Structure 1
Amino acid sequence: MQSESLNLKKWNIIYPVYINTKKTVAEGRRISTTKACENPTCIEIGDCCNYLKIPFAVELDKAYPRDFMQRGRIRFQLKKEDGSLLNPEIGSKKQLMLRVAELIPKHHGRMKKQEPDANASCAAGSSKPGKGGKKKK
């Protein structure tokens, strides 16, 4: 167990900022906005790594250095100790980021979230006339 945690420090890191369309290159985005996804979470990235059969560890207590309010990062391993790839389709960190950004919009959590948002916006619309009444005072 101890040796595994020591090896974990050698694993690569992906911060959600790297594949977020809402961020600029100066803010830390590493792939083009056309290929990036909107506001990815560590859990979603972890699920994608799991789907791609890439060993990973989610570190929710860690923060992105350029913006310490951005919490969480994912450590992952692309190669075995002998240097061979764990997933032959993914040979670099950039390829992994592109694949993960492709998969996140199809994530099962995203599909469920989109439906309640439509109902929530209707409820929010009905509360607006009440707020207008308060302003007349």
Structure 2
Amino acid sequence: MKPARVKRLRRLVFHDIKSPAFNEVKAAFEVDLLKGIDGQTTDFLNMMLERRHVYEHNGGVADDRYVERSGDNLWRSGDLIRETDQNAHKLLSTLPILAQNLQDDFHEIFPLTAWPVHYYEERMGKRKQSAWFGKEEPAT
């Protein structure tokens, strides 16, 4: 990359999916983390990233920034935010989609080379066998 693009990418903040960071990565690398994610889920992810900020910097107490940027109307500035099981499950089921999008687009740019994978699997197989001095593993 040219130095100007490197400098621009280093300044990007990835804590806000509505920030230019996601569009910059998509434009620069054709990596779309939000592919297949609907608008409602994008809004949810935005809220959870704003909550991350509140948890990390405010000890879980909502501030004006959270109220303005999160789209969450359940809390007011000064309220202690508590997470629900439903939000945790939704977040944990959504994050693998983003990770899979990153992996798929990354491997489209850099295709997987099979020989290192096979080499690793072969070495791991030999290590597993040698750990038991060449004998079969005990039944579990």
Q: TM-score, normalised by structure 1?
A: 0.27
Q: Name whichever structure is richer in strand by fraction.
A: 1
Higher RCO, 1 or 2 (CA under 8 Å, sep at least 6)? 1
Q: Name whichever structure is richer in helix by fraction.
A: 2
Larger radius of gyration: 2
